[in-house]
Amino acid sequence: MYRFRVFVSYAGQDRQLAVILVDALKTLGLEPFWDKDIRPGTPFTDAIKGMISHAHLFMPIISQKSQERPWVHQETGYAMALNIPVLPIAVNTLPTEMISQLQAISINEDGSDIAERLNDANFEQIVFPPPQKPQSSIEIADWPETRAELLARYANLVIELGAFGEMRHEAPSRHSASHIRT
């Protein structure tokens, strides 16, 4: 795996979890950055911004304590503004606000399972996600062959999701194209 640079953001009360997380990231061959890497005499805010802007991945520790602290939220917003992928580490809570839509890695309160949970993450896919084709709810096919291909593609998509679904097909009139709704 590539030695991705990971910025770790945390509330001061979660320092012990941050230490465990940084050690686990190093064990995986990643290069964690955190406030302990700031040299004395360096402007704190500028140093944090610099580390975040040079990170491949932003990893905030989300806990009840960090939910009450503005720094973790500000750093998260800065990372997102720079389009740096965010992978939240959640402790007895779920991400809220701007990262509520992100799937987090949930860990025990004592951090004893951090290394195990990080092993399940595909960092290359998080940092370099495959391009996604926007899903449309309606597609128009001018030819019967194209209509058959669309129906097969949507059926396979539903099967890959491990779910059942329904597709509606409107048969074309003599003067209109076919519509497939999913």
The pLDDT tens digits of the residues spanning 136-179 come to: 667 777 888 888 888 888 777 777 777 666 666 666 565 555 55
CATH superfamily for domain 5-127: Toll/interleukin-1 receptor homology (TIR) domain (3.40.50.10140)
C-alpha closest to that of 6 among 50, 47, 58: 58
Tell me the H-state helices in the chain.
15-27, 44-53, 64-67, 70-81, 114-119, 123-127, 144-160
> Residue 158's pLDDT is what?
74
Sequence spans of domains, the chain = 5-127, 138-181
pLDDT in tens, 118-147: 998 889 988 988 777 666 667 777 888 888
Please name the residues in contact with 71: beta carbons below 8 A apart, sequence gap of 6 or more: 9, 11
- Measured in degrees and rounded to the nearest 5, phi and psi for residue 4 equal -65, 145
* pLDDT (0 to 100) of residue 100: 63
pLDDT at 64 over 80: no
Apex 76 CA angle, 71 and 77, nearest 5: 100
Strands 57-62 and 5-9: parallel
Q: So what's the pLDDT on residue 160? A: 75
Percent of the chain with pLDDT over 70: 79
Query: In the chain, pLDDT over 90 holds for what percent of residues?
Result: 31
